[in-house]
């Protein structure tokens, strides 16, 4: 007896809509960044910052648009996803603006690019584009099950997105990692979008194939070992992720894709053996690549002993500075605008933005941020539990799994727990692709949760039962 027979529906009773709760939380989520903004301004200049009203209004407007669209087009959606994402986006804007004020970073940019251009206005623009995509997804995607039709098309699309940075003339090499493409003045990170697209493929594929993967297996040492031919897909994904690692020098993307596949495989089949196999394969791949590819090797060295090569290698210096930032933050932090996390230099407002949180808000702030990310993941998993169709379940589980992996990989890398990878903290880090793609991800989760939490129609009278005549012998 497999445990799938104990699937249960989690449905809301009472007033299921909860849009007003969402509105209240959203107001809260807009006020907190404004407070943070004032805090940074007071700490740096001693005056209220001039752009405060503009940023506050901008963020409030984005939140209002998002809320109204959810109210209209996804009335039963989860009330927490939008406020949590808005709060992170708003705080990300404040942190980026705070690093824009750093003279050290301004000089660094002037030295290397000739001019300093602040990242915060761009980030606000990207947030607006992100909300626009959020609205677009909610308007156009009336039912997430439509995506199931595009299972194999999304596989092709995801592969193209992943391989685009390798196309000569299109891809650009930034600090060793080839994960950007340049299109008319904008640089795009296609991997962020591929994350969502490939989740569609994994969900559609595993939904169809999970019986074969789960049931046809031999038991060996307490593990269910799949048949050789069922290992095919995991081998293919493994090979692709290794290719990304080798040719694009991007540990993060490759880890994300392989990890997401393993997570979804586990969710689909309930076989622990897939996790074991996945961990073994990624360990083998990581060790193999780390010992051959120079770029990855440097990152691993920087991770193992950041202060050993501190003076000689830029990667080591960044990690070292980041760890020192976390350390000097202590438990309660130095206060917004009063830290020295700008010493990290390049990517202080992108990959390393979490170090600023660590220094200026301390352990208490880092924990709050991690809990907020955790809540988003929890809502995603909850949506997966509540979804009534297997595709939606797998899709929501895959998206939240990918999100969780991304948080772990970035936060772990910045804190020195695992080797640093070139990935962004969703919404916090400066970078358009990440913000836009994550808003799309939240829109999809909201769409699935709306479908899942929508009250079921009243039970229809069973015509057969009504007509049954009891004939007594």
Partner 1 sequence: MSELTLTVMRLCFLAVLWLFVFVAIQVIRSDLFGTRVTQRGARRGADARPAQGRQQAAPTPPRQQSGGGRQRRGAPSKLVVSEGTLSGTTVALQGQTITLGRAHDSTIVLDDDYASSRHARIYPDQGGQWIVEDLGSTNGTYLDRTRLTTPTPIPLGAPIRIGKTVIELRK
> Within 207-226, which residues bind partner 1 (CB under 8 A)?
207-208, 210-211
Residues 114-143 that bind partner 1 (CB under 8 A): none
- The residue from 157, 368, 377, 415 that contacts partner 1 (CB under 8 A) is 368
186/126 Cα distance (integer angstroms) = 11
* SS3 at position 455: coil
- The residue from 110, 148, 169, 308 that contacts partner 1 (CB under 8 A) is 148
202/401 Cα distance (integer angstroms) = 12
272/278 Cα distance (integer angstroms) = 10
Instruction: Work out how close the CB of 240 gets to partner 1 at its nearest, in angstroms, rounded to a whole number.
Output: 26
Instruction: Work out how close the CB of 239 gets to partner 1 at its nearest, in angstroms, rounded to a whole number.
Output: 27
154/198 Cα distance (integer angstroms) = 6
- The residue from 169, 185, 228, 473 that contacts partner 1 (CB under 8 A) is 473
205 binds partner 1 (CB under 8 A): no
1 binds partner 1 (CB under 8 A): yes
Instruction: Work out how close the CB of 459 gets to partner 1 at its nearest, in angstroms, rounded to a whole number.
Output: 4
Nearer to partner 1, 293 or 370 (CB): 370
Ramachandran area for residue 112 (φ above 0: left; ψ -120 to 50: alpha; else beta): alpha
274/284 Cα distance (integer angstroms) = 15
Instruction: Work out how close the CB of 166 gets to partner 1 at its nearest, in angstroms, rounded to a whole number.
Output: 36
Nearer to partner 1, 334 or 434 (CB): 334
Please, are residues 363 and 427 in contact by the beta-carbon 8 Å criterion?
no
- The residue from 225, 375, 377, 381 that contacts partner 1 (CB under 8 A) is 375
Cα-only R_g, the chain: 24
**Residue 431 is inside which H or E element, if any?**
none
- The residue from 306, 365, 419, 431 that contacts partner 1 (CB under 8 A) is 365
Residues 61-100 that bind partner 1 (CB under 8 A): 79-80, 83-84, 87
Instruction: Work out how close the CB of 152 gets to partner 1 at its nearest, in angstroms, rounded to a whole number.
Output: 15
Residues 6-65 that bind partner 1 (CB under 8 A): 6-14, 16, 18, 21, 25, 28-29, 32, 35-36, 39, 42-43, 46
138/140 Cα distance (integer angstroms) = 6
Please, are residues 57 and 33 in contact by the beta-carbon 8 Å criterion?
no
Please, are residues 302 and 315 in contact by the beta-carbon 8 Å criterion?
yes
Instruction: Work out how close the CB of 358 gets to partner 1 at its nearest, in angstroms, rounded to a whole number.
Output: 13
Instruction: Work out how close the CB of 221 gets to partner 1 at its nearest, in angstroms, rounded to a whole number.
Output: 26
The DSSP symbol for 162 reads H
Please, are residues 251 and 240 in contact by the beta-carbon 8 Å criterion?
no
Please, are residues 439 and 133 in contact by the beta-carbon 8 Å criterion?
yes
Nearer to partner 1, 296 or 361 (CB): 361
Residues 319-348 that bind partner 1 (CB under 8 A): 332-336, 338
Residue in 102, 101, 79, 82 with CA at minimum distance from that of residue 90? 82
Q: Contacts with partner 1: how many residues (CB under 8 A)?
A: 71
**Residue 304 is inside which H or E element, if any?**
helix 294-304
Q: How far is CA 50 from the centre of its chain?
A: 32
299/418 Cα distance (integer angstroms) = 10
Residues 216-275 that bind partner 1 (CB under 8 A): none
Instruction: Work out how close the CB of 173 gets to partner 1 at its nearest, in angstroms, rounded to a whole number.
Output: 38
- The residue from 145, 187, 346, 408 that contacts partner 1 (CB under 8 A) is 145
Q: Which stretch binds partner 1 (CB under 8 A): 176-184, 320-328, 404-412, 462-470?
A: 462-470
Residues 380-419 that bind partner 1 (CB under 8 A): 388-392
Nearer to partner 1, 182 or 209 (CB): 209
444 binds partner 1 (CB under 8 A): no
Q: Report the relative pairing of strands 171-174 and 223-226 from DSSP bridges.
A: unpaired
Strands (E) located in 147-266:
171-174, 177-183, 186-188, 217-220, 223-226
- The residue from 378, 408, 412, 415 that contacts partner 1 (CB under 8 A) is 378
Nearer to partner 1, 29 or 302 (CB): 29
Nearer to partner 1, 43 or 223 (CB): 43
Nearer to partner 1, 164 or 207 (CB): 207
- The residue from 82, 315, 350, 372 that contacts partner 1 (CB under 8 A) is 372
212/232 Cα distance (integer angstroms) = 12
Please, are residues 362 and 331 in contact by the beta-carbon 8 Å criterion?
yes
Instruction: Work out how close the CB of 396 gets to partner 1 at its nearest, in angstroms, rounded to a whole number.
Output: 14
Instruction: Work out how close the CB of 203 gets to partner 1 at its nearest, in angstroms, rounded to a whole number.
Output: 11
Please, are residues 447 and 137 in contact by the beta-carbon 8 Å criterion?
yes
126/454 Cα distance (integer angstroms) = 31
362 binds partner 1 (CB under 8 A): yes
Residues 157-186 that bind partner 1 (CB under 8 A): none
């Amino acid at each position: 007896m497999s445990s799938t027979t104990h699937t249960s529906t989690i449905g809301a009773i009472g007033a299921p809509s909860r849009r007003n709760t969402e509105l209240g939380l959203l107001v809260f989520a807009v006020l907190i960044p404004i407070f943070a903004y004032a805090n940074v301004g007071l700490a740096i200049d001693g005056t209220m910052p001039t752009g405060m009203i503009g940023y506050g209004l901008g963020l409030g407007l984005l939140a209002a648009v998002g809320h109204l669209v959810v109210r209209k087009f996804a009335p039963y959606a989860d009330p927490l996803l939008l406020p949590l994402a808005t709060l992170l986006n708003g705080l990300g804007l404040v942190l980026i603006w705070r690093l824009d004020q750093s003279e050290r970073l301004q000089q660094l940019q002037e030295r290397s690019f000739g001019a300093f251009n602040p990242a915060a206005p761009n980030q606000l623009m990207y947030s607006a584009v992100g909300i626009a995509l959020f609205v677009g997804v909610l308007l156009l995607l009336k039912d997430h099950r439509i995506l199931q039709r595009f299972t194999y098309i999304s596989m092709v699309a995801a592969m193209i997105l992943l391989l685009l940075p390798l196309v000569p003339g299109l891809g650009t090499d930034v600090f060793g990692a080839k994960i950007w493409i340049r299109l008319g003045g904008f640089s795009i990170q296609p991997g962020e979008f591929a994350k969502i697209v490939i989740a569609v493929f994994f969900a559609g594929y595993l939904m169809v194939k999970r019986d074969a993967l789960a049931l046809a297996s031999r038991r060996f040492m307490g593990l269910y070992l799949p048949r050789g031919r069922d290992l095919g897909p995991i081998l293919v994904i493994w090979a692709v992720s290794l290719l990304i690692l080798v040719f694009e020098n991007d540990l993060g993307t490759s880890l994300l894709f392989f990890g997401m596949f393993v997570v979804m495989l586990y969710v689909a089949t309930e076989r622990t053996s897939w996790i074991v196999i996945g961990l073994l394969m990624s360990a083998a791949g990581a060790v193999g690549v780390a010992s051959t590819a120079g770029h990855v090797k440097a990152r691993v060295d920087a991770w193992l002993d950041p202060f050993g090569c501190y003076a000689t290698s830029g990667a080591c210096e960044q990690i070292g500075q980041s760890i020192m930032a976390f350390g000097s933050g202590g438990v309660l932090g130095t206060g917004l605008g009063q830290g020295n996390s700008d010493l990290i230099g390049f990517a202080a407002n992108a990959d390393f933005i979490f170090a600023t949180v660590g220094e200026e808000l301390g352990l208490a702030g880092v924990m709050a941020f991690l809990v907020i990310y955790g809540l988003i993941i929890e809502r995603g998993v909850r949506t997966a539990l509540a979804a009534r169709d297997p595709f939606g379940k797998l899709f929501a589980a895959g998206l939240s799994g990918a999100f969780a992996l991304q948080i772990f990989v970035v936060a772990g890398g910045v804190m020195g727990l695992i080797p640093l990878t070139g990935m962004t903290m969703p919404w916090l880090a400066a970078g358009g692709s990440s913000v836009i793609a994550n808003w799309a991800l939240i829109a999809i989760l909201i769409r699935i949760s709306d479908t899942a939490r929508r009250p079921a129609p009243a039970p229809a009278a069973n015509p057969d039962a009504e007509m049954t005549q009891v004939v007594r012998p």
